[in-house]
Amino acid sequence: MLDTPPDERFDRITRIAARVYGADVAFLSFVDADQQWMKSKTSDALSDHIERDRSICTMVVASGAEMVIEDMRQDPMLEGHPVARDIPWRFYAGVPLRGEEGSVIGTLCILREEPGAPPAFNIDVLRDLADISSHELTLARRNTELHQLSNTDALTGLPNRRMFDQEFHRSWRRARRTGVSTSLLLLDLDHFKEVNDTAGHQAGDQVLAKFGRFLSSFAARPDDLAARVGGEEFALILAGSDEPGAAKVADAIIRALDAIALPHPLRKVITTSIGCATLRSDEDHVNWWTRADRALYAAKAGGRAQAQSL
């Protein structure tokens, strides 16, 4: 769910929470190791994300218990907190969001500019809305699993172009949020048409299937992604890889492919050309893709079986 677009299922829940409690802001957030990210919020006055150690919600996540603070500027528990005295809200109420295994994965919270609880305050409604949110998360996860099955390339077992486009955009958003270097590799099997024309399409399909399994081993980290994006075209997203790191992976792919020696009917073995592009801080995802594509073209124009970076 991290870094996915707005979702009406969760926007509806935060709107209800804001109306029920007369809150100035209601938000639903998820946490990873480093940050709290707002999946839904009723006001743009609240940041889209915050470092986890600066978040008040981290206390709810750590304890797994709901928390109500009458006045964040006066509560001794928040003495010395890095943001509690500076934000425009004073009343806070938050409840944990739990995943299928029962672990706390986020929070559902309300904020008010005035100190003190709203009239006839009862946290039960917020708790019920959090339970509904957790149920929606379970449904979303299962729908995602079905979506992945329907967007898998049958020949290689890799995500297809439609799935890649969605994950590529999500990777761009995540990189912009976290500031973590992320690189894109575009790969094209060299002289692949000759395989189909000389040895037949069945032989070509066997090469594609073997290359797909080979490439998947280079998507080693949880946010990495290998995909088939065209006939003999593949893509690899490397989360956490800067330009030297991406170049190192590209070189490893070329050397490892040479080592497994997939046969080519006219040129002894299958080789690949690779274009690399590391996302720049001010770059949109379209330009990021374009740079990788231009780098791939340069690799092919330069003699193939090599990697180029732009």
The CATH code for residues 8-149 is 3.30.450.40
**Cβ atoms of 134 and 57 closer than 8 Å:** no
Instruction: Give residue 33's pLDDT.
Output: 85
Contact criterion met (CB below 8 Å) for 253 and 219: no
Two tokens, residue 308: 């180029």
Six-digit token pair at 173?
């958003």
| CA atoms of 22 and 72, how far apart (whole Å) | 18
| Beta strands in 58-215, from DSSP E residues, in sequence order | 67-69, 91-98, 104-112, 182-189
Query: 187, 233 in Cβ contact below 8 A?
Result: yes
Six token digits for residue 81: 């907190």
Active-site choice (232, 233, 243, 283): 232
Say if strands 307-309 and 272-278 run parallel, antiparallel, or are unpaired: parallel
Give pLDDT < 50 ranges for the chain: none
Dist. CA 236–CA 256, nearest whole Å: 15
Contacts of 40 (CB under 8 A, 6+ apart): 6, 7, 10, 11, 13, 14, 27, 28
Q: How far apart are CA 208 and CA 112, in angstroms?
A: 57
Nearest to 66 by CA among 118, 130, 120, 14: 130
Strand partners, 294: none
Q: What is the pLDDT of residue 259?
A: 96
**Would you state the pLDDT for residue 294?**
98
Q: Phi/psi of residue 58, each to 5°? A: -60, -25
Specify the pLDDT at position 137: 84
CA-to-CA distance for 208 and 82, rounded, in angstroms?
53
**Contact present, 215 and 236 (Cβ < 8 Å):** yes
Instruction: Tally Cβ neighbours within 10 Å of residue 177.
Output: 15
Q: Could you report how far apart the first and last alpha carbons of the chain are, in Å? A: 31
Superfamily of domain 151-309: Reverse transcriptase/Diguanylate cyclase domain (3.30.70.270)
Domain borders along the chain are 8-149, 151-309
Q: Active-site residue 243, yes or no?
A: no
Residue 266's pLDDT is: 95
